[in-house]
Amino acid sequence: MRSFFTPSSPAARSPRRARRTTVAAGVAAGAILALAVPAMASAHVTVSPDELVAGDHGVLTFAFSHGCDDSPTTSLRITMPEGLASVAPTIDSDWTIDVERGDDGLVSAVTYTAVTPVPNGLRGAVTIGVGLDEDTPETLAFPVVQTCETGSTEWTQLAEDGEDSHSLDAPAPVVQVTAADGEHSEHAADEQNAEADADSGTVAASDPTAVVLGSAGLVAGLAALVVAVLAYRRKA
């Protein structure tokens, strides 16, 4: 006598239950990854903007929203790359600032120390004004050492050619430098010419000698016209 399972028997339902359990586990794992990836991506010290134009200047904001293994952040030490024409840390009442300079007198590193440690999960940010020249390299890396009440993290890794920086555990903030295009250069030249024209007009208007000479010439011209008219009438 052959035995068989009906569709409603428990033995027949167990493969379905197993498949449903597997699907549910996959969905749960996907949801965990979807939440974990943004969290991992945000667990960096970032810089904004991440692109500047050669020969220009800008204000860079270095931000973070995490500590060192949940420990509050006490300081950020940012190393300046070579190729910057100027560096000007921004005064902030939430941070004290220590500036280091190289033998050439240029700023080599800036350390921001928090007046009150920044708790994990809250955003902290510091800003630095930088100037670029025409010889500034295409990539500017700003290694950062984040010190916390317990421990520290060195954000100093740089991606190799063809490597995604997001795959690094502790990438350094990087700013790309683009060449000034013709439109940018032409706009700058137009501004300079406009300023020169405005300055020339201001100088001419404010020069009393020019005003006096112009008025004297006008008076002399009118006098000559009157003399000519009177002479013509006498002849007539």
Q: What is the mean pLDDT of residues 163-191?
A: 75
Average confidence score pLDDT of the chain: 75
**CATH class held by domain 46-180:** mainly beta
Q: What is the mean pLDDT of residues 98-110?
A: 95
Q: What is the pLDDT of residue 206?
A: 43
Least confident of 38-52, 84-98, 117-131, 188-202: 188-202
Identify whether the C-beta of residue 154 lies closer than 8 Å to the C-beta of residue 76: no
Q: What is the mean pLDDT of residues 158-171?
A: 85
The pLDDT-based confidence of 218 (bands split at 50, 70, 90) is low
Q: Residue 235: what are its φ and ψ, rounded to 5°?
A: -65, -35
SS3 state of residue 13: helix
Q: Are strands 124-132 and 57-64 parallel, antiparallel or unpaired?
A: antiparallel
Q: Does residue 32 carry a pLDDT above 60?
A: no
In the Cβ-directed half-sphere of 143, how many Cα atoms lie within 13 Å? Answer: 12
- CA 178/CA 180 separation, integer angstroms: 6
Q: What is the pLDDT of residue 5?
A: 44
The pLDDT-based confidence of 154 (bands split at 50, 70, 90) is very high
Q: What is the pLDDT of residue 85?
A: 94
Q: Residue 134: what are its φ and ψ, rounded to 5°?
A: -70, -20
Q: What is the pLDDT of residue 161?
A: 81
Q: What is the pLDDT of residue 34?
A: 37
List the strands of the sheet with 84-89, edge to edge. 46-48, 57-64, 124-132, 84-89
* Per-residue pLDDT reduced to its tens digit, 42-82: 468 999 999 999 999 999 999 999 999 899 999 999 999 99
Q: What is the pLDDT of residue 162?
A: 76
Higher-pLDDT residue of 115 and 193 is 115
CATH 2.60.40.2230 in the chain, residue ranges? 46-180
DSSP state of 100: E
Q: Does residue 188 carry a pLDDT above 50?
A: no
Q: Residue 66: what are its φ and ψ, rounded to 5°?
A: -150, 160
Q: Does residue 190 carry a pLDDT above 80?
A: no
- CA 48/CA 60 separation, integer angstroms: 6
